[in-house]
Amino acid sequence: MARVSLATCVAVLLLVSTPPVAVGFESNEWWKGTIVYQIYPRSFMDSDGDGVGDLAGITSRLEYFNDIGVGTVWLSPVYKSPMADFGYDVADFKDIDPIFGTMADFDALIAKAHRLGLKLMMDFVPNHSSDQHQWFLDSKKNKDSTNEYKDYYVWEDPKQGCSDPPQQCVPNNWVSVFGGSMWEWVPERQQFYLHQFLVEQPDLNYRKPEVKTAMDDVVRFWLTKGVDGLRVDAIRHMYESEGLEDEPVNPDYTPKPGEQAQYDSLLHTMTADLPELHDVIKDWRDIFQEFSTDQYRFMVTETYDTHKALLPYYGTPERPEADYPFNFGLIELNKENLSGTKIHQLVDDWMKDLPHDKWPNWVIGNHDNFRIADKIGLEYARALNVLNLLLPGTPTTYYGEEIAMEDIWVSYNDTQDPFAINNPEHWEEYTRDPERSPMQWDRSSHAGFSTTAGKTWLPVNQNYLSGINVADQKADNTSALALYKKLAALRKDEPAFQTNHLKYVIVNDKIFSFLRMPDDQDTKPDSFLVIINAGTSESTDDYTAALTKLELKAEGDAGVIKVSSNMDRNGKSQGLSKISSAAGEALIIKASVYGFSSASVPTLSLTLSIATVMVKIFYHVMFKY
Ligand code: GLC
Ligand code: MG
C-alpha cells in the first residue's frame, strides 16, 4: 500500500517537472524553417545604371540566397508609385513601377526564384493608396451619388460650429504618423480626407464593402501569380472610430518648441488597433487557405506595439489570422541598454505569453529603423545575427545585416525620406535614409550596386572599401558572412533548432545564454548551448552549475565549440564548468544534454534510506546489536 502511494508520488513529480513537448514543424510549414530576407528594392541591385535598384537586378542576384542559406525573400513595395514614400504610396496595386521594371520582369523574377527553390513574398499596403491612384482621383472630384468612388476614402465635413474658414475647421485633433493633422482639405469636394501617413497617402475606407472586395481581389491577384506570402503593412491603422472623438493627450510627451503636431503627442485610442480590422485579416487568411492546397501561403502583419497588443494578430485556433505578427522587441536594443539581462527580458516578453501552438519570430532591423550595427555597436553585430538566427522561430534579416552593414550619414539638404523632411526639428531622429543605402557587393565602383556614371539614389557607405562587401567576405572564412552561412546551416541541419524549445541558462547579467534541444530528450540528443556576451568585458562562467539548476546535465560536462562568432575557436573541445567569452562574442557549443528530474532526488534518498535500514537489519541479525 505504502509502495503504491510512493510510486504515485514519484509519477506525479515526474509529470509536474516534464516540460510540454516542444513543437516542431511539418515539411509544408516552410515558413517556420526558413530565414526571411528583406530586400529594399531601390537599394539591392541596379541593372540598368540609373542609380536605383530594380527587379532585373534582384533576379540577377538570386543565387546569392542559395549560397548563404536564405530560403525566403520579401520585397518592399515595387508597385506603381509616385514614390512620395518610396513605394508605400501605391498608385496601382496590380502593376509594377517603371523604375523597378515591368510585369514581365516580375514574372521572370518569381519564376527564377521558384526554380532555385526560393519563396517570394511581397509587401501588401492595404491601409492607404497614393493620392495618384485612379480611385482617389475619382473620389476627390465630388460627393455626388453618381460618383462610384466617392466613399472609397474617409471623407469628413468641416467641424460643425467652427467659425474659421472651412479648410481650417479640421474634424478633430488626430495627428498623422508622419506629423501634422491627419486631415487634408480638398476644395473640389469641400471636405477633408483622412491620411494616417503622408498627405499623399489617403486612407482607404474599409467600411465601404466595395473597397474590401477590391482589396481582396488584389490579394487574389498576387497569390494567383504564385507569390508565396504577403507582409501586410501598417495594419493597425486600417480603421478609425466613426464617432471622430478627439484622442487623449500623451502625458509622457514633451513637445519641442516650434514643432508641428507629433504622432507621439497623442494616445491612439480612436485610430489604431480597432477590433474591426481582425475581421479583415481573417477574411484574407481564408483567401490564403484557398490558395494553400498545394503550397502553404504565409502571412505576416506589421504593427509596432507591445507584445500583449500583438498577440491577437495570431488569431485563435478556430479563427486563425496571421502566421505571425512581426515581433519588433529586439529593435529596442541600443548602446545604452544592451546587456544579457535586457536581451533576456526582450526575448522572454515575447515567449512567455505566446500560446504553445504559435510560432515565434524575431527582427533586428528593417527599412524603418537604424541598422543594428550602429544601434548597439559593430562589435556586437555578429552576436545579434547569432541571436536572431538561433532563437526558436523565424528570423528576418534586413539586407546587408549578414555582412554587418552600417548606416550612412545624409545631411538634411540631401535627405530623401519624407518623414525627416516633414519634421525638421526631429529629422536626425526620424530619418530612415541611413539604413536604406545601397547593398555592398564588391570593391568595384558604387560597391557593385550600380554602373551609373552619376550618383546612386542614396550614397554608398564607403566602408565597402574596407571589407564590408559580399565578395571580400565570401573569400574570408572568418567573416561575418561566413558566420552567417554557418548559422543558416545549423538551422537547416540540426533538429535542435527546429522546434520552439528554449531554456534560459543564466550565469550573470552581462550574458544571455540559452539552450536548444530537439524534441526527443530521452536519447541524450545533440543540443546547443548558445552564449551571447553582451557585456563590455571578458567573462568566465560555470555553465555546468547553471544547467544543474535546470535539472540538466551535459555528458562529460563538456562539448565542442561548433561556431564562435569571431570564427577563431570553431571545433575546439570545451569543458562547460569554465567557459570564457569576450565582450561581443557569441559561442555555440554542441553537447549531449539530458534531463534529470527532481523526482529522481526523492527516489535516490528513498533508495538510500531503504539501504540504510537493510544494513541495520543485517547488523542486527548478524551481530545482535
Ligand atoms: C510601414 C512601412 C513604412 C511606411 C509606412 C506607410 O510602416 O514599413 O516604411 O512608411 O508603413 O506605408
Ligand atoms: Mg534601375
Q: What is the mean pLDDT of residues 341-365?
A: 96
The answer to which of 61-70, 264-273, 572-581, 593-602 has the lowest mean pLDDT is: 593-602
- Please say if the pLDDT value at position 127 is more than 70: yes
Q: What is the mean pLDDT of residues 457-481?
A: 98
First to last CA, the chain: 30
What's the CA gap between 233 and 124, in Å, rounded? 6
Which atom belonging to ligand 1 lies closest to the Cα atom of 127?
12
- Please say if the pLDDT value at position 625 is more than 50: no
Q: What is the pTM of this model?
A: 0.92
What pLDDT sits at residue 422? 93
Close Cβ partners of 236 (under 8 Å, ≥ 6 residues apart) = 272, 273, 277, 303, 305
Q: DSSP label at 554?
A: E
- Residues with catalytic function: 233, 302
- Please say if the pLDDT value at position 213 is more than 80: yes
Q: What is the mean pLDDT of residues 217-246?
A: 98
- Contact 422 CB / ligand 1 (< 6 Å): no
Q: What is the mean pLDDT of residues 391-409?
A: 98
- Please say if the pLDDT value at position 624 is more than 70: no
Instruction: Answer whether 591's CB lies under 8 Å from 527's CB.
Output: yes
What pLDDT sits at residue 519? 73
- Contact 106 CB / ligand 1 (< 6 Å): no
504: enclosing H helix or E strand: strand 503-504
- Please say if the pLDDT value at position 305 is more than 80: yes
Q: DSSP label at 45?
A: -
- Please say if the pLDDT value at position 623 is more than 80: no
What pLDDT sits at residue 525? 84
Q: Is 190 left (phi over 0), alpha (psi -120 to 50) or beta?
A: left
What pLDDT sits at residue 21? 57
**408-426 in b/e burial notation, b at 16+ Cβ within 10 A?**
bebeeeebbbbbbebbeeb
The bound ligand whose nearest atom lies closest to the alpha carbon of 56 is: 2
- Please say if the pLDDT value at position 622 is more than 70: no
- Contact 368 CB / ligand 1 (< 6 Å): yes
Q: 93 CA distance to ligand 2 centroid (A)? A: 20
Band of pLDDT at residue 615, cut at 50, 70 and 90? low
What's the CA gap between 439 and 405, in Å, rounded? 8
Beta bridge pairs of residue 193: 155, 184
- Please say if the pLDDT value at position 8 is more than 60: no
Band of pLDDT at residue 605, cut at 50, 70 and 90? very low
Which atom belonging to ligand 1 lies closest to the Cα atom of 367?
9
Domains of the chain: 27-127+210-239+274-483 (3.20.20.80), 129-203+240-254 (3.90.400.10), 500-600 (2.60.40.1180)
Q: Supply 250's cell numbers.
A: 500623451
**Tens of pLDDT, residues 533-566:** 999 999 999 999 999 999 999 999 999 999 999 9
395: enclosing H helix or E strand: strand 394-398
- Contact 200 CB / ligand 1 (< 6 Å): no
Q: What is the mean pLDDT of residues 349-356?
A: 94
Q: What is the mean pLDDT of residues 28-54?
A: 97
What pLDDT sits at residue 596? 83
What pLDDT sits at residue 520? 63
Q: 368 CA distance to ligand 2 centroid (A)? A: 22
Q: What is the mean pLDDT of residues 600-619?
A: 50
- Please say if the pLDDT value at position 90 is more than 60: yes
- Please say if the pLDDT value at position 337 is more than 70: yes
The answer to which of 11-20, 26-35, 130-139 has the lowest mean pLDDT is: 11-20
The answer to which of 18-32, 232-246, 431-445 has the lowest mean pLDDT is: 18-32
What's the CA gap between 277 and 289, in Å, rounded? 19
Q: 233 CA distance to ligand 1 centroid (A)? A: 7
- Contact 234 CB / ligand 1 (< 6 Å): yes
- Please say if the pLDDT value at position 476 is more than 60: yes
Q: What is the mean pLDDT of residues 19-48?
A: 88
What pLDDT sits at residue 614? 59
Q: What is the mean pLDDT of residues 453-469?
A: 98
What pLDDT sits at residue 616? 58
